[in-house]
Amino acid sequence: MSGNSLEEAILKDGRHTSLLVRHPQTNQIWLDLTQARRRVTMALMLNYLAGKQAVQVEKLLLALKYLSEGNHISTFGGDKYRVRGDHGLYTVRLVPAGCDCPLFLGEGKFVGKPGVCSHYLLALICVA
């Protein structure tokens, strides 16, 4: 892998650099990731940047923060994960993709705007 970091990808895109101010730990977390987790994370980030998916860019940085903090995810019932976010405890599935939080379901303030959440992304990165 080249020297390209997640932070460099965000800076190069230029549209979401303010998120790096809110997530100053991003580069250190990136350095601590395994190669497999870096590959998954970078592929997701480049996809979200290309698609101008600002919410998902932020949720990916949040998922990394949860990963670095530890104790945000636990497995139960085989393919299900229990993930603790800033707003509650949620159940995540990778196949088919799912989470019972308002963002993923498009509920509450996300009505009509469902999207991939930090809980699902944390599980996805963790299994890499």
- The site for Zn ion (CB under 5 A) is made up of 90, 99, 101, 104, 117, 119
What whole-number distance in Å separates Cα of residue 91 and Cα of residue 55?
A: 20
Give the nearest distance from C-beta 8 to Zn ion in angstroms. Answer: 28
Cβ proximity to Zn ion, 14 vs 112, nearer residue: 112
Give the nearest distance from C-beta 126 to Zn ion in angstroms. Answer: 14
Give the nearest distance from C-beta 2 to Zn ion in angstroms. Answer: 32
Give the nearest distance from C-beta 110 to Zn ion in angstroms. Answer: 10
DSSP reduced 3-state for 20: helix
Cβ proximity to Zn ion, 61 vs 117, nearer residue: 117
Cβ proximity to Zn ion, 44 vs 99, nearer residue: 99
Cβ proximity to Zn ion, 40 vs 110, nearer residue: 110
What whole-number distance in Å separates Cα of residue 103 and Cα of residue 90?
A: 11
Q: Do residues 101 and 90 lie in contact, with contact meaning Cβ atoms separated by under 8 Å?
A: yes
What whole-number distance in Å separates Cα of residue 51 and Cα of residue 69?
A: 28
Closest to 29 measured CA to CA, from 75, 70, 57? 70
